[in-house]
Amino acid sequence: MIRSMVWGWTVMALFSAPAGFAQIGDLGGNWMLGPFVKQDSANPVLRPHAESVFTCPIRKMPVHWESKDVFNPAAVVRNDTLFLLYRAQDSLGAPAGTSRIGLAWSTDGRTFQRLPAPVLYPDEDYMKAFEWEGGCEDPRIVEDERGLYIMTYTAYDGETARLCIATSEDLYHWNKEGPAFGANDGGKYIDTWSKSGAIITRRIGSSNVATKISGRYWMYWGESNVYLASSTDLINWDPIESDNGDLFVVFGPRDRFFDSELVEPGPPATLTGQGIILIYNSKNAKNTGDPTFLPGTYAAGQVLVDSTNPSRILMRSDNPFLRPDRVYELIGQVGDVCFAEGLVHFRKEWLLYYGAADSRIAVASMHDRPHPEDGIAK
């Protein structure tokens, strides 16, 4: 049984098992999104850019804010244009350069233009204590029913990573809403290491719209295990706990598999006719991992979750569908890394954007087909 520390009753009481899911195993691997094909002719679609200069409001000096690395992008479609919001690092800050979030756009999903300055960054504001000097990292973006953009991102002060929320009406101007777990839970988890917030969405056209289940929004998060949180407003989130008061684990690492050391959510989860599909990132362990992958390899898998109970895993991939095997994925700031964060439907194909070796951004595509996205609102 699981519960929220704010609610006085168990979360499981909210959910009822959907009819027909007892036979879900008959689907085999057909529930997964894919296959995704790496776009070698275009990859990497974004590289570090030394010419971009921005006057840092904290350092009070010009910095080459995306000269070292660009990686881990969110993706969203607005007015027939695809936008990436991506993590960029300079070479100044500790421990590996200060991170800021940049904005790039494309009409074909493969060639991008970018703004010369970041759109979300550490500033002389109330979030400085959380963001300086590590920075703003790893965005993921959804829309609400009104078209407001909700970004989950990691604020890093050099010691603790905290999952935070920002909102925007146009993708260019962002309002920092603060730590995701800072209000509703009495501050219990505000200093807990927390990252990677993937909100459950429904596809409407080319938009990933946050959708409620049993009257609340839900988010997968975490960087060792995958945990769960819920919200009524997409800004203030309640971590879900087990009866013993520990964080409820939706799923965790598996010995002798590609995801043996850690798991963490990828892009926003997608509600389909088969259930909720969550792409997740993982790391292979040194001694207890899959011996066919190098220790430390980051690859991506998928899980299928009950569409009425976001805590109940139905299926899980035994092998990664996205793994590092290109030079730009094998060599970089951190080698042997494919780290997926952006998934959008654009011009009759699914496009999956991922960080390659923590240094560049690449894309893989999947053309439309009836299954598994059949049942997603068009």
Give the pLDDT confidence of 265-310 residue by residue, as tens digits.
Answer: 999 999 999 999 999 999 999 999 999 999 999 999 999 999 999 9
One-letter amino acid identity for 342? G
Each residue of 205-252: pLDDT tens digit? 999 999 999 999 999 999 999 999 999 999 999 999 999 999 999 999
Mean pLDDT, range 5-33, rounded to an integer: 45
Residue that wins the pLDDT comparison between 96 and 248:
248
Query: Rounded distance, CA 138 to CA 196, Å?
Result: 7
Query: Looking at the domain assignment, is residue 10 inside a domain?
Result: no
Instruction: Please report which confidence band the pLDDT of residue 5 belongs to, taking 50, 70 and 90 as the band edges.
Output: very low
- In three-state secondary structure terms, 102 is strand
Q: Which residues contact 7 (CB under 8 A, 6 or more apart)?
A: 238
Residue 93's pLDDT band (boundaries 50, 70, 90)? confident
Q: Say if 13 falls within a structural domain.
A: no
Reported as half-sphere exposure (CB side, CA atoms, 13 A), residue 234 has a value of: 26
- Look at residue 165 and tell me whether its pLDDT is greater than 90: yes
Contact 2, 247 (CB under 8 A): no
Residues 310-327, mean pLDDT to the nearest whole number:
98
Give residue 94's pLDDT. 79
Return the SS3 of 295: coil
Q: Assess if residue 377 is contained within a domain.
A: no
pLDDT score, position 312: 98
How confident is the prediction for the chain on average, in pLDDT?
A: 90
Domain with 102 in it: 23-367
Q: What is the pLDDT of residue 186?
A: 74
Neighbours of 145 (CB within 10 A): 10
pLDDT at 20: 28
Please tell me the distance from the alpha carbon of residue 74 to that of residue 88, in angstroms, as a whole number: 12
Instruction: Measure the CA–CA gap between 5 and 321, rounded to whole angstroms.
Output: 36
- Which ranges of 154-258 would DSSP assign to H, the alpha helix? none
Q: Does 378 map to a domain?
A: no
Say how far residue 138 (Cα) sits from the centre of its chain. 7
At residue 302, φ and ψ (nearest 5 deg) are: -140, 145
Does residue 27 fall inside a structural domain? yes
Backbone angles phi, psi at 193, to 5 degrees: -60, 115
pLDDT of residue 309: 97
84 confidence band (pLDDT: 50, 70, 90): very high
Residue 367: per-residue pLDDT: 86
Q: Name the residue with higher pLDDT: 286 or 378.
A: 286
Instruction: Give the side-chain half-sphere CA count within 13 A for 315.
Output: 23
d(CA 32, CA 114): 32
What the block records as the tokens of 137 is 């990292």
Residue 146 in any domain: the answer is yes
- Examine residue 372 and say whether the peptide bond preceding it is cis (omega within 30 degrees of 0): yes
The answer to whether position 295 is within a domain reads yes
Residue 374 predicted with pLDDT over 90: no
> Residue range 30-53: average pLDDT?
96
pTM of the model: 0.92
The whole-number pLDDT of residue 373 equals: 44
pLDDT at 187: 80
Q: Residue 154 contacts by C-beta under 8 Å, 6 or more apart in sequence? A: 136, 137, 138, 161, 162, 163, 164, 194, 195, 196
> How many domains, in total, are found in the chain?
1
pLDDT score recorded for residue 22: 26
Per the CB < 8 A criterion, the answer to whether 343 and 265 are in contact is no
> Has residue 378 got a pLDDT over 50?
no
Where residue 109 sits, what CATH number does that domain have?
Answer: 2.115.10.20
What per-residue confidence (pLDDT) applies to 154?
98
Two tokens at 229?
Answer: 């949180």
Query: Contact 314/304 with Cβ under 8 angstroms?
Result: yes
Q: Are 98 and 158 in contact (CB under 8 A)?
A: no
4: in domain: no
Q: Integer distance in angstroms from the first to the last C-alpha of the chain? A: 35
Q: Which two tokens stand for residue 36?
A: 């995704």
Q: How confident is the model at residue 184 (pLDDT cuts 50, 70, 90)?
A: low
Residue 162 — very low, low, confident or very high, per pLDDT cuts 50/70/90? very high
- For residues 25 and 276, the model is more confident at 276
